[in-house]
Amino acid sequence: MAARSEEELKPGLDALATDAAVGFVGDLAAPGTAEEMLAAAVEAFGGVGFLVNNAGGGVIRPTLEHTEETLRATIDNNLWTMLRATLAVLPHLVERGGGRIVNIGAESVRNGLTSHAVYNAAKGGVHAFATGLAREFAHAGIAVNTVAPSYTLTPELAAAIEAGQVSAELQTVLDDAVALIPMGRPATPDEVAGTVAYLLRPEAGFVTGQVISVNGGSSMS
């Protein structure tokens, strides 16, 4: 598990509640960091069979209100982290004879959620890169898929809402997101994680090149 700081890393490691988990601190958008992460994982476990690209964030705001800084942050957090981690791990997976890559994309790429155009540019790149890789590396036994959640109510966001710490602008985005979901609620982190876990299981060995939405019906196909 990787994060930019010990403070960001600790909740994830605590949630795993196992001594088998290893944390890595670094900015995966920066050149060379992903290779350091891979080396740490290989040293700890002897090899790597799975990669889950779960980095994200960035800035959600109307398109014309973005600055050079917010554009770069949004693209770096969502696209460059995935690219660098995947390009670092792929040769290892090819050498070991196969593996799985699962990316966390976004349902907003399909449903055009309010103020998400720049974010969607980054996540759309995540979706497209994964489908291209799936075809290119299927012969190597590597399955590549994307899980695309709708608005997901994390514990941190729930606490911020409860404490009244969410801006009016963000609350409008969240309300619009729920309005697009026929089930009338956001996803839970466990619902998203369960889909990722399935894609890592032996039973999903024939699933590759897919974007699987966990979206309560906000888009259907």
> Would you name the residues annotated as active-site residues?
119
Quote the strand ranges of 131-184, DSSP E.
Answer: 142-149
Contact 201, 195 (CB under 8 A): no
Residue type for position 84: R
Pairing relationship of beta strands 50-53 and 211-214 according to DSSP bridges:
unpaired
Look up residue 138 and give its two tokens.
Answer: 């299927």
- C-alpha to C-alpha distance for 87 and 53, rounded to whole angstroms: 12
Q: CA separation (Å) from 120 to 21, 87, 146, 218?
A: 31, 22, 14, 16
